[in-house]
Structure 1
């Protein structure tokens, strides 16, 4: 394989959930920059369209679609609309997720909130992989990238629902690699450390940042592009014999809120 082909996504179609902002936006723009036709799926259509327009202005191909990943009919519609527009699916980035990191005290967290975190972070990923896999097999190229987190291996207070859901992502990824491998589909996960996003900004203080960096060999917090680079690696042909792995992207260290 020629060097220029190792990261070439020309002719490939990628779905990125939660693709309008933060890490998702970074992934959408990164994959488009390397030639993929990108479907920016997001709960907020206006935000998705803004990101898609940025990509188109930069010479890329992008389609914005509204999608609530906790509603099965919208996941089915996302796949159907992608196929109607582009005719195939090759890459799925299950980026969407959420939880009350640092705010999940078992004294106040309800069973419904705990279940909702798994519905958003785990169940939607599994279902969308199930929906996309047959089309990846038909296309002869498939890469599923799930978004994990350093919280999946860290231990901290008030984060039991989110952290356990991300730990489930790691193990689910490793097992789905066996299920989909015979079809030529690779399944991997990326586990970000602390990344400068709007979500982190809501809790970040100079004191918290200093504490995080004290245990981070590369003395800065992550940027969305840092995570998108790992997603690109898993999406591209260069990782064609890599599956079932979780790659932690964390500046070499640990960043927690406590």
Structure 2
């Protein structure tokens, strides 16, 4: 059984692995943890220059490491390198990495043209990627008596207004994995939760979204605006903090109230 005290680690004492942290939402999440004093592994695949620049913002507390999250061997090597570098075990995983994707509904495949390979690409990066990070960090988390896994989801489960079939299906599978892992790993003191956003203004992926879509979404939310990546990252911090120690298997939607659970 896990030691409950491991769930009380303040963020500034945590070693956080953020996948896909070189750009986009992942960059904002990594920066949010760094802003709270955490040590952060800035995982990237293609964005080497941006990842290194982010790591340079917090000398001694951030390390950029290239790894394809769909490659279990590469992920294990990344975790071993990070833990050796910082001299401590990964306490918190943020599964954010997303295979190449642009949030432009006009450019996505509709039902009559959707290829299985498109879904498979997303499942490989989103679901296999999360499985690989959890399995690589699990021995250390169990040894230290607990840990945090935070998966990044989408509000398109509840509001599938655009034909992002591949992306939404993979994230839906990740939500199921979130819940089954929460049940499986709870006795080890490991919490597993999901934070789901809508369209964010603005990330690299949403840069392709027409302004009219942003305006429509803003008008549809109670707050009358589109959520920012910084606001979304704040919610991720909650699930890593001691304040969420009794919360697991949950999906928190952070979209300004557009979707109501």
2:208 aligns with one of 187, 199, 202 = 202
**1:12/1:37 contact within 8 Å kept:** yes
TM-score using structure 2 length: 0.88
2:165 aligns with one of 160, 163, 170 = 160
Moved more, 240-249 or 135-144: 135-144
Going from structure 1 to structure 2, the CA distance change for 1:23 and 1:100 (only over 3 Å counts) comes to: closer
Once the two structures are superposed, residues 188-230 of structure 1 have per-residue CA deviations (whole angstroms, 9 ceiling, x without a partner) of: 010011112121111222x222211121111211111111111
- Structure 2 unmatched ranges of 5 or more: 1-7
SS in 1 for 2:11: coil
- Structure 1 unmatched ranges of 5 or more: 1-5
**Following the alignment from structure 1 to structure 2, what is the Cα–Cα distance between the partners of residues 22 and 222?**
14
Aligned to 2:61: 61
Instruction: Give the deviation of 1:140 after TM superposition.
Output: 2.6
**Following the alignment from structure 1 to structure 2, what is the Cα–Cα distance between the partners of residues 7 and 251?**
29
Instruction: Give the deviation of 1:7 after TM superposition.
Output: 8.4
Aligned to 1:20: 22
Moved more, 192-201 or 233-242: 192-201
User: Are 1:235 and 2:240 matched, yes or no?
Assistant: yes
SS in 1 for 2:40: strand
Instruction: Give the deviation of 1:157 after TM superposition.
Output: 4.3
**Following the alignment from structure 1 to structure 2, what is the Cα–Cα distance between the partners of residues 189 and 157?**
21
2:189 aligns with one of 181, 184, 191 = 184
**1:16/1:38 contact within 8 Å kept:** yes
**2:96/2:151 contact within 8 Å kept:** yes
Aligned to 1:89: 90
**Following the alignment from structure 1 to structure 2, what is the Cα–Cα distance between the partners of residues 51 and 7?**
24
**Following the alignment from structure 2 to structure 1, what is the Cα–Cα distance between the partners of residues 97 and 130?**
9
Aligned to 1:30: 32
Greater relative CO (CA pairs within 8 A, separation 6+): 2
**1:8/1:34 contact within 8 Å kept:** no
**Following the alignment from structure 2 to structure 1, what is the Cα–Cα distance between the partners of residues 193 and 163?**
27
Once the two structures are superposed, residues 122-175 of structure 1 have per-residue CA deviations (whole angstroms, 9 ceiling, x without a partner) of: 111122112212211212330000000111222234221111111111121111
